[in-house]
Chain A
């Protein structure tokens, strides 16, 4: 009986768990409870992916109302894959959370921290699970509001201004999506995505549909933080608590990429977006600028967390390249990169958080000699960093391989060139971190630094080991991503 309710349980369980955390009143109990819930989520997501890949799309009717009138949760290969990434990231990061949160959040707020974290998770899972356009907006705002709160909990006061800035930009983005959905509803009379997918292409190039497309695309790009809409991202990730930076770096922008895929390919259809409208040119040029600008900006940062945040801006560019290519290979590359980047950047931010846990700072100058003093954490940073560069046997190589291949298939060799140049710049900024940690002597007379606690190591290495494993065994990720891309592009 439970098996048929899995799609709604995926979203409802963290939503129910959130108020329970408030009632638990103790930070540690809330942590234990949240950990159990997150692993339960991962189990559900794995079962759902198995069902969706095996028997085709799963449809769940909320409240028993039949779609398109009622709200439907519809899971195909694409969003089941995204659900697995979200739930997996949350589950793997939970062992890390306890000590990190105990150090960074005031004791009387810790149980509330887990409550808000679960709400953010609910929102992200909901965006991925739902098959209703307005529902996407509601879940988007749930996750965004929770993330504003979580980011503002950072220890430095700049976390507050970063959160405020994100609140303004994020709300404008979500409101633009809301306008777009309104135009779609006015024109078609439906909010169900599968229903919209049938009716919107038939309407063709009417002004309302064009306006809806423009509003939704720009709104989603703001949430995705693609250049030039990335201004909120570096500060938000740099000043948030370590666990929050890591979780959102691994998940939030990935959900943005999912929304872009869903609206562009499923609702409006590739022929409209890439044939009638020049989305391909726009998306590719913005993404390539993002790759170069993000990576170059990362090169000049003096703080590890800010460096990683700007690197995220660049890596989001790669997602944009894959989506912009609008071919099965390109979208496969983007989806695989969503998965791989979640592992790599999640692991890297966790490691940066572990360094902050022991040192209280993440300045590159504070990292001097850390290769000897925190050998395991720094080794994780090196492997994760090489993944960002795209060195073979790391998973970063796999996604870039597909992006370059996709570019050549389309005969766009400059795109491939830019991807490679971006990797070279990544090598330079990862090199700066390695240089600071391994080739600079530790400051004389400094206090001895211990290695990070084992529970934090566990999360870091789970993410980093995953990124290497999926660099060697590509069948699972690429297999799922290829089928998901085929679903999106309507290929058999």
Chain B
């Protein structure tokens, strides 16, 4: 598909808003519909579209699968780390309220951090799946 001018131009136009929208969904997740999983999938879809139009080698140069595997692991550790942190702070596993003196504030902080963990893990895994299957 790399030689199709229309696809290339449309993809170039679409990919930045897709990635930006992913970030919006990510950060909006604790108030409204959205969150890490959805954002991760949208972000991954942006990268996959890039791969579909410009070839897998293009995606691999932007996001090497080895790096993606590390990012996915770090995302998972971020999530689990919040769980451990809330245990150390005196709550039970993933009880975000314990993270701050004010329970509501703690909930916000906890949810935003774990959603970031979920988001980067999902985006990385989706892209890895695409790269592996597209080979």
A and B touching (C-beta < 8 Å)? yes
Tell me whether A62 and B80 are in contact (CB under 8 A).
no
Does residue A52 face the partner (Cβ distance < 8 Å to B)? Answer: no
Beyond A12-B83, A15-B80, A16-B80, is A63–B74 a contact (Cβ under 8 Å)? no
- The stretch of A18-26, A131-139, A416-424 in contact with B is A18-26
Interface size range on A against B:
10 to 19
- When distances are taken between beta carbons in the complex, the residues of chain B under 8 Å from A23 are 70, 73-74
Interface size range on B against A:
10 to 19
- When distances are taken between beta carbons in the complex, the residues of chain A under 8 Å from B70 are 22-23
- When distances are taken between beta carbons in the complex, the residues of chain B under 8 Å from A273 are none
Contact among B73, B93, B94, B98 with A19 in the assembled complex (CB-CB below 8 Å)? B73
Distance in angstroms between the alpha carbons of A245 and B73 in the assembled complex:
27
Does residue B92 face the partner (Cβ distance < 8 Å to A)? Answer: yes
Does residue A60 face the partner (Cβ distance < 8 Å to B)? Answer: yes
Beyond A5-B87, A12-B80, A15-B80, is A64–B74 a contact (Cβ under 8 Å)? no
Distance in angstroms between the alpha carbons of A88 and B97 in the assembled complex:
35
Tell me whether A64 and B73 are in contact (CB under 8 A).
no
Tell me whether B69 and A22 are in contact (CB under 8 A).
yes
Chain B residue, CB-CB nearest to A24: B73
Distance in angstroms between the alpha carbons of A5 and B83 in the assembled complex:
11
Tell me whether B93 and A12 are in contact (CB under 8 A).
yes
Chain B residue, CB-CB nearest to A115: B73
Tell me whether B94 and A63 are in contact (CB under 8 A).
yes
Min CB distance B122 to A, Å, is 14
Residue of B76, B97, B98 ringed by the most chain A CB atoms within 10 A: B76
Tell me whether A64 and B77 are in contact (CB under 8 A).
no
Tell me whether B93 and A5 are in contact (CB under 8 A).
yes
Tell me whether B77 and A19 are in contact (CB under 8 A).
yes
Tell me whether B92 and A62 are in contact (CB under 8 A).
yes
- When distances are taken between beta carbons in the complex, the residues of chain B under 8 Å from A16 are 76-77, 80, 84
Interface residues of A in 52-99 (CB under 8 A from B): 60-64
Does residue B91 face the partner (Cβ distance < 8 Å to A)? Answer: yes
Does residue B95 face the partner (Cβ distance < 8 Å to A)? Answer: yes
Contact among B69, B73, B77, B96 with A63 in the assembled complex (CB-CB below 8 Å)? B96
Min CB distance A129 to B, Å, is 12
Distance in angstroms between the alpha carbons of A20 and B70 in the assembled complex:
9
Min CB distance A29 to B, Å, is 14
Does residue B59 face the partner (Cβ distance < 8 Å to A)? Answer: no
Beyond A12-B80, A19-B74, is A64–B91 a contact (Cβ under 8 Å)? yes
Contact among A5, A15, A64 with B97 in the assembled complex (CB-CB below 8 Å)? A64
Beyond A22-B69, A22-B70, is A63–B80 a contact (Cβ under 8 Å)? no
Does residue A8 face the partner (Cβ distance < 8 Å to B)? Answer: yes
Tell me whether A64 and B80 are in contact (CB under 8 A).
no
- When distances are taken between beta carbons in the complex, the residues of chain A under 8 Å from B76 are 15-16, 18-19
Per CB-CB distance, the 7 closest pairs between chain A and chain B, nearest first, are: A19-B73, A64-B95, A8-B93, A22-B73, A63-B94, A16-B80, A19-B76
Instruction: List 14 additional A-B contacts (Cβ < 8 Å) besides A12-B84, A62-B93.
Output: A5-B87, A8-B92, A16-B76, A18-B76, A19-B73, A20-B77, A22-B69, A22-B72, A61-B92, A63-B93, A63-B94, A64-B92, A64-B97, A64-B98
